[in-house]
Amino acid sequence: MKSFTREDMQDFISLESYALIMDVDVGIYAELDQRIVSFGELVSLDIDSLLPLSRSSGENIDLYVGEVLLGNGEILVVDGKLAVRVADLRDKPSALQNSASSGETE
């Protein structure tokens, strides 16, 4: 029989506190970059216009839930569609990290 440490119990309690909201849908968006342009530049945009951005090619993009930065990711093409490989997550509670890494779902 496995003995539980204090940290195991804290993680279990933390995970239990999320149980009621596990099925709530949240929107995640991937932000390639932002740029401020003048109104003149905006109205002069046309089909085939190039809009230079500050990020370099291959640099990770930001992932957000609402206005909260979730982490960073890499843009990929999978089966002809764009996808994002999560490269970094910010401030994920340890109970959720343990659950995700062990493949547990409710």
Q: How many domains does the chain have?
A: 1
Residue 19 domain flag: yes
Write down the pTM of the prediction: 0.63
Burial of 74 (0-12, 13-18, 19+ CB in 10 A): middle
* CA pair distance 76, 79, nearest whole angstrom: 10
Q: 99, 89 in Cβ contact below 8 A?
A: no
Residue 17 domain flag: yes
pLDDT tens-digit readout, 35-94: 999 999 999 999 999 998 888 888 899 999 988 999 999 999 999 999 999 999 987 655
Q: Which of 73, 93, 90 is nearest to 82 (CA)?
A: 73
Q: What are phi and psi of 45, to 5 degrees?
A: -65, 140
Residue 38 domain flag: no
Residue 92, domain extent: 6-33+53-101
Residue 29 scores a pLDDT above 90 = yes
Residue 12 domain flag: yes
